[in-house]
Amino acid sequence: MSILLETKNLTKRFGGLEAVKDVNIQVKEREIHALIGPNGAGKTTTLSMINGTLRPTAGEVLFLGQEITGKPTYVVANLGIGRTFQNIKQFGSLTVLENLMVGGMSHYNKGGVLHMLLHMKETRHMEEAVEEKAKEILSRIGMEAFEKEYAGNLPYGRQKVLELGRALMGDPRLILLDEPAAGLNPSERAEFVEILKNVYESGIDLFLIEHNMDVVMNISHRITVLNFGRQIAEGTPQEIANNETVIKAYLGDRFSEGKNRRG
Ligand SMILES: Nc1ncnc2c1ncn2[C@@H]1O[C@H](COP(=O)(O)OP(=O)(O)OP(=O)(O)O)[C@@H](O)[C@H]1O
Ligand SMILES: [Mg+2]
């Protein structure tokens, strides 16, 4: 299997703090890869360096063999990497459909607002195409019924699903997800896992940060573990669940407490 995404000695310093140090991750094609570890381990920072939200202090990021280190987020997105955020970033006062269309229009519109005004007919066609696509994505994520609802009025679980929908609008090859199931109740979580599996089966690979071990163990093919910015293990779910170092640093607490930090 060929490598889709690769980091080489990826490092981020914030002043004196080494938030991420020499991290080497390989996400292979047709893989669901999870990134786990305690709070503050450097997981979000790693994701942010991959999609261009943060510039690495050192190291490289390669996507499909091409170096993308430090490229702006829109360039990375156009190359095929979508992302969802740990904190919800949608527009509460727009409808669900509009939330999808906002991202979609900016994706199509390379010419700017003036271009759009001067080419109203073209713009209209583009808008229709984006709307059609947004509706297709709503059905993929099981949210057709919520099309006209304001995003801000949705239950939390639906807002997380909408975040995923927004990432899908960019036609990604790979989606980076930052704690997609955090704060979901067990039935919302089960539903989310099904949606993620469907997305994966549609040909999109996933790289996700997740604290919920049920989710991680259920859907991941491979897992990378960070602790204090360092990569302490990598392997199959089975290997990770039985890894002494990982149990000491992270899993021991979680399994013995039988719950996760954010419920
Ligand atoms: N912009 C920043 N400036 C300074 N320090 C930061 C910044 N962003 C993150 N950090 C620090 O870097 C370390 C790694 O943070 P990061 O958010 O990547 O952790 P995480 O693994 O995602 O944790 P969590 O599970 O709580 O989301 C933490 O000590 C954090 O306080
Ligand atoms: Mg985080």
pLDDT in tens, 86-127: 787 778 889 999 999 987 666 555 566 677 677 777 778 888
Q: What is the pLDDT of residue 171?
A: 93
Q: How far is the CA of 87 from the centre of ligand 2 (A)?
A: 9
Q: What is the pLDDT of residue 257?
A: 44
Residue for token digits 């994505």? 137
pLDDT in tens, 125-168: 888 889 999 999 999 999 999 999 999 999 999 999 999 999 99
Residue nearest to atom 5 of ligand 1 (CA): 14
For the residues 36-61, what does the mean pLDDT come to? 97
Q: What is the pLDDT of residue 259?
A: 45
Smallest-distance ligand from the CA of 261: 1
Q: What is the pLDDT of residue 112?
A: 67
Q: Where are the domains of the chain?
A: 1-80+172-263, 92-162
Residue nearest to atom 8 of ligand 1 (CA): 45
pLDDT in tens, 241-260: 999 999 999 988 666 444 44
Q: How far is the CA of 45 from the centre of ligand 1 (A)?
A: 6
Q: Which of 39-53, 104-118, 226-240 has the lowest mean pLDDT?
A: 104-118
The reply to whether ligand 1 has any atom less than 6 angstroms from the CB of 41 is yes
Predicted confidence band of residue 44 (pLDDT cuts 50, 70, 90): very high
Residue for token digits 């990569």? 231
Output the 3-class SS for 2-16: CEEEEEEEEEEEECC
- Domain 1-80+172-263 part of CATH 3.40.50.300: yes
Residue nearest to atom 1 of ligand 1 (CA): 14
Q: How far is the CA of 42 from the centre of ligand 1 (A)?
A: 6
Q: Is the pLDDT of residue 32 over 50?
A: yes
For the residues 26-50, what does the mean pLDDT come to? 97
Q: What is the pLDDT of residue 258?
A: 43
Predicted confidence band of residue 187 (pLDDT cuts 50, 70, 90): very high
CA distances from 52 to 49, 56, 82, 83, 200 (A): 5, 9, 11, 11, 23
Torsional sign, CA 116, 80, 214, 248: negative
The reply to whether ligand 1 has any atom less than 6 angstroms from the CB of 87 is no
Torsional sign, CA 239, 82, 86, 230: positive
Q: Is the pLDDT of residue 262 over 60?
A: no
CA distances from 110 to 25, 70, 115, 121 (A): 33, 21, 9, 16
Query: What mean pLDDT, rounded, does the chain reach?
Result: 90
Q: Is the pLDDT of residue 261 over 50?
A: no
For the residues 165-193, what does the mean pLDDT come to? 94
Q: What is the pLDDT of residue 121?
A: 78
User: Judging by DSSP bridges, how do beta strands 58-63 and 3-14 pair with one another?
Assistant: antiparallel
Q: How far is the CA of 45 from the centre of ligand 2 (A)?
A: 7
Question: Helix, strand, or coil here: 177?
Answer: strand
